[in-house]
Chain A
Amino acid sequence: MRNIKKVAKWEYKKNIKNKSFIISLLLTPAIFLLFSFLPGLIDSFGKEEAATTVYVKDELNALKNMEDTLKAQGIEWDMKSSQEDMTAHVRENENTAYIELGESTLSEGVVHVYTNEVMSSEFSQQVNNITAIVQMLQLESLSLTPEQTHLITKGMTLETIAVSEETVETAGADPLKRLVPGVFAGIILLSVVTTGMMIFQSASNEKKEKVSEIVLSSITPAELMQGKIIGYFALGITQVFVWIICLLPFFMWKLDFPIMEYLLVPETVLLVVIAILGYLLFAALFAGMGASFEDVDSTSNFQGIVFVLPWLPLFLFMPVLNDPTGWIAQAGSYFPLTSPGVLLMRLSVLEQWPWMEIIISLSILLVSIWFLMKLAGKIFSIGILKYGKNATPQEMLKWLKY
């Protein structure tokens, strides 16, 4: 175990000091933030440039109420009271509108809104907010109490409850309760699998740089492989940690729900365990294949296929989300290469977790990891010393028999 730790420490230190790793570590959250908030930012600039001027002929004395309501909605019009008909003015000035609020508005239930040809794209949505104000005025004119008015304006919500033995209690639960831990575990899986891909590079480079024989004079091939797997796992977790530190404050500021409350639930533990198992599965593949491979630049080698395997669950993304209990989702949960990704997707959207399926697929996953580690260990211990060539599938099969 001490030797495994030494190798893990070496691989971690070697990469954490690497400039390109540091750049990508910091650039990823920066790019994420840029693409998350830049469109909104640009949009807000656009808004400032094109503040809509709205003239209101207010015979109902509702302007103050309108301004307050719209402001509460985050809508900022340049509102001006007008006693005259402003339609001619609106025709000639871009981004202007004219609203008439008179007795006929209440009796007929129609609000006349005159706009210029050139209006901001949001105006037609924003203007809908005044219908609620007019409706309130209508109800007030019928001498209803504020409670009665509130009851009527509250509207009607339709709540569908699927009744079964298991779901009665949880129906109507908050979807974010599952989704947030699922997305978090997904980020961990993504991070550790991408750093896990570096195991391939590391083993391949060790072969290319002909250094493995010196290392193996001090430790066993199994210790070297396990050290690499743990080292790159630590690197992946560091990456997640840095991403969280960079991104979490922004999310807490921008998103309107308590992320930490959603994250700190027992479900997160299982989801993270699934992500870690996924890493171990692919890490074994990367280590074994990397040790059989020397020329990374060569494109005609079958070892490259291994890079595609972690992304297989993406092909099942839509079918699984459309029907998380369907046969594709189930099959994907039982197939080891797609199991971690598909399980995370399913468990993020299912309100009631299918525990039996989870236990079966985790059992299959664990056996597969054990089996792959054994195979990778054999290929690694022979392949890492075969300098100067890429192994063919036939050679690798031969090594497995040793």
Chain B
Amino acid sequence: MKTPILTVNKIGKSFKDKRIIKNISFQVFEGEIMALLGPNGAGKSTTIRSIMGILYPDEGTIHFNRHGEGEIPRQKIGYLPEERGLYKKVSIMDILLYFAELKDYPLKKARERALFYLKKFGLEGKEKSTIEEFSKGMAQKVQFIAAIIHEPELLILDEPFSGLDPVSQDVIKNEIRNLASNGTAILLSAHQMNVVEELCDRLLMIHRGEKVIAGTMEEVKTEYANYKCVLRGVADIEMLKGLPQVQSMTHQGSVTTLMLDAEVKPTQWIKHLPEDVNFHELSLSRVSLHEIFIDIATDHLPERSEQNA
């Protein structure tokens, strides 16, 4: 059984009269990729900064399970903040070695790892360049290397894919998977729900500082993602009206989407489709994480999610 690396227990934080986060609890396990999701201003960065000890929560506790009570093992945490930046006029190698030194990581080993990752990320021979000479994507790769150079046991990634092209996204995704498979616990905050769906084992979604959804990807899908039926090229949509267990129906161009009730059994529901309805394509699937996210951000979360949150 995997052991927890980080346990966040009922933390809360206010700035003056404004409540930023409230009663947030979760654990991140060894070798697991955990997603921390939420719309802008939901409190993700405050939660992360509290874990990092950059901010101190007003209530609750944060415990790093392999370390003493109240201790923040900064040397064992890797952090890629949302706000990107590196020293502009210093060579890449010097920057990476400085960050490794701050983490008490042996410099010889850090140099080897820096060269290894620069090569892996297509930046071979660039160790003497400065960040000014790099594109945004290249700089982001360097920042990612800076976050993992010291072999952290917990890696916190705040929006690691923003601004990356699909190729670079894949490079980073693969490396995140590699790290997790080698035992690194990863807490990831991202807005690309398709990537989260593809990459993460579990997720915690917060909205207005409070937990709204939590669980494994499967649990969340089962619990919160109703089925939807998408039909393309329906000639007469009037024929679909009156179908049972349909919450809503939308029609855009040639695509008709039927949002179904939570209790729907898809194999039985499909039998209710009129025999003579004409279409080119039919798909029946659970709504995506992206749609759940939109629902939350626009306050359309299904009632039952409150029970589980």
In the assembled complex, which residues on chain A have CB atoms less than 8 Å from the CB atom of B266? none
CA distance A210 to B158 in the complex (A): 14
Q: Which of B136-162 contact A (CB under 8 A)?
A: 143, 146-147
List of A residues within 8 angstroms of B53 by Cβ: 220
Which residues on A sit within 8 Å (CB–CB) of B89? Answer: 18
Given contacts A209-B87, A214-B146, A387-B83, contact A219 B102 (CB under 8 A): yes
Q: Are B74 and A218 in contact (CB under 8 A)?
A: yes
A23 to chain B, nearest CB (A): 15
Minimum CB distance partner of B15 in chain A: A402
In Å, the complex CA distance between A387 and B49 comes to 15
Cross-chain contact A385 with B54 (CB below 8 angstroms):
yes
Contact with B along A192-210 (1 / 0, CB 8 A): 0000000000000100011
The answer to whether A331 has its CB under 8 Å from any CB of chain B is no
Determine if B102 and A14 form an interchain contact, defined as CB atoms under 8 angstroms apart.
Answer: no
**Known interface pairs A216-B54, A217-B77, A218-B75. Does A6 touch B102 (Cβ–Cβ under 8 Å)?**
yes
A211 within 8 Å of B (CB atoms) = yes
The answer on a CB contact under 8 Å between B86 and A211 is yes
Give 1 or 0 for each of B197-221: 1 = CB within 8 Å of chain A CB.
Answer: 0000000000000000000000000
Q: How far is the CA of A213 from the CA of B52 in the complex (A)?
A: 10
Is the beta-carbon distance between B74 and A209 smaller than 8 angstroms? no
Which of the residues A6, A220, A387 comes within 8 Å of B101, measured between beta carbons? A6
Residue A273 interfacial (CB < 8 Å): no
Contact B79 A209 (CB under 8 A): no
Residue of B74, B79, B85, B89 with highest tally of chain A CB at under 10 A: B85
Interface residues on B, range: 20 to 34
Q: Check B74 against A210 for contact (C-beta < 8 Å).
A: no
Determine if B26 is an interface residue (Cβ-Cβ < 8 Å): no
Which one of A3, A6, A214, A220 contacts B81 once the chains associate, using CB atoms below 8 Å?
A214
> Which residue in B94, B99, B101 is a CB contact (below 8 Å) of A214?
B99
Quick one: which of A18, A205, A217 contacts B74, CB cutoff 8 A?
Answer: A217
Considering the chains assembled together, what is the distance between the CA atoms of A129 and B49 in angstroms? 82
- Chain A residues contacting B113 (CB-CB under 8 Å) are none
* Residue A10 CB within 8 A of the other chain: yes
> What 1/0 mask marks residues of chain A from 211 to 248 whose CB sits below 8 Å from any chain B CB?
10111111110000000000000000000000000000
Q: Are B102 and A210 in contact (CB under 8 A)?
A: no
Contact of A218 among B80, B84, B85, B99 (CB under 8 A): B99
Alpha-carbon distance between A215 and B103 when the two chains are bound, in angstroms: 10
Closest Cβ neighbor of B88 among chain A residues: A209
Pair B146/A213 contact, Cβ less than 8 Å = no
CB closest chain-B residue, reference A210: B85
The complex places the Cα of A219 from the Cα of B86 at a distance, in Å, of 16
Known: A214-B79, A217-B79, A219-B74. A209 touches B86 (CB 8 A): yes
A114 vs B87: C-alpha distance when bound (angstroms): 74
Interchain CA distance A209-B142 in the complex, whole Å: 14
Q: Is the CB of B102 within 8 A of A218?
A: yes
Closest to A208 in B: B85
Structural contact, A217 and B52, CB atoms closer than 8 A: yes
Given the known inter-chain contacts A14-B90, A385-B54, please indicate yes or no for A215 contacting B85, CB distance below 8 A.
no
Contacts of B94 in A (CB 8 A): 13-14
B121 beta carbon closer than 8 Å to chain A: no
**How long is the Cα–Cα vector from A18 to B146 in the complex, in angstroms?**
23
- Verify B85–A211 contact, CB threshold 8 A: yes
Per-position binary interface string of chain A over residues 4-24, scored 1 when its CB falls under 8 Å from any chain B CB and 0 otherwise: 001000100110001000000
A321–chain B nearest beta-carbon distance, Å:
42
Whether the Cβ atoms of B54 and A217 lie closer than 8 Å is yes
Residues of A within 8 A of B99 (CB): 214-215, 218
**Other contacts beyond A14-B87, A211-B86: 17, CB < 8 A:** A10-B98, A10-B101, A18-B89, A209-B85, A210-B81, A214-B80, A214-B85, A214-B86, A214-B143, A214-B147, A215-B99, A215-B102, A217-B52, A218-B74, A218-B75, A218-B103, A220-B53
Residues in B lying within 8 Å of A, measured CB to CB: 52-54, 74-75, 77, 79-81, 83-90, 94, 98-99, 101-103, 143, 146-147
5 A-B pairs whose Cβ atoms sit less than 8 Å apart in the complex:
A14-B94, A209-B87, A211-B85, A211-B86, A218-B102
Chain A residues proximal to chain B, CB less than 8 Å: 3, 6, 10, 13-14, 18, 205, 209-211, 213-220, 385, 387
| Nearest 4 Cβ contacts at the A-B interface | A210-B85, A218-B102, A217-B79, A213-B81
